[in-house]
Chains A and B, each alone.
Chain A
Amino acid sequence: MAITSIKNLKEFSTNNDRFEGAHTLCPGCAHSMIVRELMNCTDDNLVISSNTGCLEVSTAVYPFTSWDTSWIHIGFENAATSVTAAQVMHKVRKKKGTLKDNDAPVKFVAFGGDGSTFDIGFQWLSGAMERGHDFTYICLDNENYANTGGQRSSATPVGAHTSTAQAGTHSYGKKQKKKDIVSIMAAHGSPYVAQLAPNKWKSMAKGFQKALEVEGPCFINTVSPCCTEWKFDPKDTINLTDLATDSLMFPIYEIIDSHELNILYRPKNIISVEEYMAAQGRYKHLFKPQYRHIIDEVQKDIDAKWDLLQRREEARL
């Protein structure tokens, strides 16, 4: 496949964008940073499908498209279904020799938000993974249903305020823990799953290239800070992603063939979960005396998860 050079940023920047401006995502939205990286890390033809969510509605405001590739506009839960259908059709037509260019390399990619990936489109994603298609699914995880006004999803972490898990006198926001989607996808027998972040552009581009290259169903969860719902200044999207990876709220790692776990980023100075939370309005209430213990509970949980990741990396199972 035609992989473009990601040795350093200068090399990388010689790629020509296939994701165009004048989409209507909020200023500073991380969704488009992630999509641009995916599309810039390969020269291959791409067939992309998106679940409904901020990315889909903002890049297809009729009569405009922001996609310089084939892009399928589909229902909330169907990106994995539609893109794998296209992949099967491509395979059959290639065999029959009825494609316009039989040798042109094509990659199939689905994008979904956390709402559609962790919850509403989960069954369809699971089905596509189980059928073993050659495609890559990328979740843009902003930990809420952003496009419809910030409802909680099963990706929302403990203590975050959302419009359906509100903080107030009797509530500290979401009570349930975040679903471990990466392990669930690895358990499908996927050859490559990973959790990546846009601030670590190189490991993200490398991970995307691996997923596109490896045959079979690959899954990548990407951290996508949402200034609107997490409540921070749009200029700080990358600063906030730094806090997310350095507090280990979002550890960066890959799992190859369901068992070979590699940690891709070890922060030199691990910062506290408190510092990460303090930078966002959605956790503001946790700094009141009656809810401070929640911060400690989340910290304990994050410490335990980091410990487990390291042990899994060592054990290779």
Chain B
Amino acid sequence: MSVESQDLNLCANDNRGQLQLGAGSGLVGWDEVTQGTVLTSFEGDATGIANKKAEERLYSDFNSYTASVASWRVNKPVFNRDICIDCQNCWVWCPDSSILSRDKQMLGIDYDHCKGCEVCVEVCPTNPKSLLMFNEHADLDESLAAWPEKKKKAKKSEEA
């Protein structure tokens, strides 16, 4: 059975996107922090963290991974697994670490961290593209149903 992005259960903790200064989080204000203060990225020992996948890590509330920038988006990229060739172009160039790739397979998009820049769509080499932009509120099935057909390359003579 292949892994799907929803199987990863990437919501690292319940505070995701809600940890806001002044919202009862019990933190001192930014102007009260003294020099030499350390904010830890993980709970407990972080040894070997480079070899742990996101879903295996214990992120602390200070890690921006527990926050969301979903509200930045107007349009969102939608992923069509049927066309994808797992080239990983989208993975290497996503500026927001939002392409979920596991074991050389592209699984989907992390919509908590994606800002909708459309870079992944631009660098996707398939025809038609395996990633396309849709309105933030578009339904997944409807988006997939509206996927365009393979584009024929324009012939030289037609161009002239």
Instruction: Identify the A interface with B (CB < 8 A).
Output: 2, 9-25, 27-33, 36-37, 42-45, 59, 61-69, 101, 104, 198, 201, 234-239
Contacts and interface: CB of A to CB of B under 8 A. Distances in A.
Contacts of A67: 41
B147 interface: no
A212 B42 CA distance: 25
Contacts, number: 146
A19 B63 contact: no
Interface of B: 19, 21, 25, 27, 30, 33, 39, 41-42, 46-47, 49-54, 61-69, 72, 86-89, 91-98, 101, 103-104, 110, 112-119, 121-123
Given A11-B104, A238-B122, A18 B50 contact: yes
Given A24-B69, A36-B97, A68-B42, A13 B92 contact: yes
| Nearest 9 pairs of A and B residues by beta carbon | A21-B113, A235-B118, A27-B117, A28-B117, A27-B115, A9-B88, A22-B67, A64-B64, A13-B88
A298 B41 CA distance: 46
Main secondary structure of the interface of B (DSSP, over half): loop
A112 to B, nearest CB: 19
B96 to A, nearest CB: 5
Nearest to A58: B64
Contacts of B117: 27-28, 234-235, 237
Contacts of B66: 22
Given A27-B117, A68-B41, A68-B42, A62 B67 contact: no
A232 B57 CA distance: 37
Contacts of A239: 122
Given A33-B92, A64-B62, 5 more contacts: A16-B49, A20-B113, A21-B65, A21-B113, A62-B21
A9 B30 contact: no
A65 B113 CA distance: 14
A22 B69 contact: yes
Contacts of A20: 63-65, 97, 113
A63 B69 contact: no
B62 A65 contact: yes
Given A22-B113, A28-B119, A17 B62 contact: no
Contacts of A17: 54, 97
A67 B49 CA distance: 12
Given A22-B112, A101-B47, A64 B67 contact: yes
Contacts of B94: 33
Contacts of B93: 33, 198, 201, 237-238
B63 A63 contact: no
A61 B91 CA distance: 25
Contact of B104 (A14, A19, A29, A30): A14
A63 B92 contact: no
Contacts of B39: 63-65
Nearest to B20: A63
Nearest to B46: A68
Contacts of A238: 93, 119, 122-123
A37 B97 CA distance: 11
**Interface centre among A13, A15, A18, by most B CB within 10 Å?**
A13
B119 to A, nearest CB: 6
A62 B30 contact: yes
B70 to A, nearest CB: 9
A17 B103 CA distance: 14
A61 B113 CA distance: 15
A66 B64 contact: yes
